[in-house]
Copies of this chain bind each other. A is one copy, B any other.
Amino acid sequence: MVLSAFFYNPQGDHRLSWRHPAAPGREIFDLDYYRRLAEVAEEAKIDTIFIADHLGIWDTFESGVAHYANARLEPLSLVGALSAVTKKIGFIVTASTSYNEPYNIARTFASLDHLSKGRVAWNVVTSALEEEARNYGLSANINHATRYQRADEFLDVVTRLWDSWEDGALLINKESGYFADPSKIHYLNHSGTHFKVRGPLNVARSPQGHPLIVQAGSSEAGRELATDHADIHFAVFRNEDEGRRYRTDIDERLVKKGRGPESFLLLPGILPVVASSRQEAEERQAALEELMIDRVSLDLLSSWSAMDLSAYPIDGPMPELPDEAKFDGWRTWLNIVKSETSNAVTIRQLARKIANTGSVPMVSGTVTDVADQMEAWFTSGVADGFNLMFPLLPDDWVNFARSVVPELQRRGLFRTEYEEGTFRDRLQLPRPANHINRH
A residues at B contact (CB < 8 Å): 16, 18-21, 23, 25-26, 29-31, 35, 54-57, 59, 62, 65-74, 76-85, 99-101, 103-104, 107-108, 110-112, 114-115, 117, 131, 134-139, 165, 170, 172, 174, 177-182, 185, 195-204, 291, 293
Is B182 a contact of A65 with CB atoms below 8 Å?
Answer: yes
CB distance from A262 to the nearest CB of B (A): 30
A80's contact among B77, B110, B195, by CB below 8 Å, is which?
A: B77
A100's contact among B104, B115, B196, by CB below 8 Å, is which?
A: B104
CB distance from A73 to the nearest CB of B (A): 4
CB distance from A210 to the nearest CB of B (A): 16
Is B57 a contact of A179 with CB atoms below 8 Å?
Answer: no
Contacts of A85 in B (CB 8 A): 84-85
Is A111 a contact of B18 with CB atoms below 8 Å?
Answer: no
Sampled A-B contacts (15; CB under 8 Å): A18-B174, A21-B174, A30-B117, A31-B83, A54-B202, A66-B180, A67-B177, A70-B202, A71-B165, A73-B111, A76-B76, A77-B108, A78-B111, A81-B83, A177-B293
CB distance from A381 to the nearest CB of B (A): 37
The CA of A73 and the CA of B20, in the complex, are separated in Å by 40
Name the CB-closest residue of B to A138: B196
CB distance from A76 to the nearest CB of B (A): 7
Is B136 a contact of A77 with CB atoms below 8 Å?
Answer: no
Name the CB-closest residue of B to A188: B135
A114's contact among B73, B110, B165, by CB below 8 Å, is which?
A: B73
Contacts of A21 in B (CB 8 A): 174
Name the CB-closest residue of B to A203: B71
The CA of A29 and the CA of B200, in the complex, are separated in Å by 17
A101's contact among B70, B100, B103, B107, by CB below 8 Å, is which?
A: B100
Q: Knowing A103-B136, A172-B25, A293-B177 touch, does A115 contact B77 (C-beta < 8 A)?
A: yes
Q: Knowing A137-B195, A137-B197 touch, does A70 contact B115 (C-beta < 8 A)?
A: no
A203's contact among B26, B72, B83, B293, by CB below 8 Å, is which?
A: B72
Contacts of A180 in B (CB 8 A): 65-66, 70-71
Is B16 a contact of A55 with CB atoms below 8 Å?
Answer: no
A57's contact among B108, B178, B200, by CB below 8 Å, is which?
A: B200
CB distance from A423 to the nearest CB of B (A): 16
Is B111 a contact of A177 with CB atoms below 8 Å?
Answer: no
A26's contact among B104, B107, B172, B196, by CB below 8 Å, is which?
A: B172
The CA of A120 and the CA of B335, in the complex, are separated in Å by 43
Q: Knowing A110-B74, A202-B57 touch, does A65 contact B185 (C-beta < 8 A)?
A: yes
Is B81 a contact of A115 with CB atoms below 8 Å?
Answer: yes
The CA of A111 and the CA of B74, in the complex, are separated in Å by 6
Contacts of A74 in B (CB 8 A): 107-108, 110-111, 203
The CA of A411 and the CA of B110, in the complex, are separated in Å by 45
A78's contact among B57, B78, B115, B135, by CB below 8 Å, is which?
A: B115
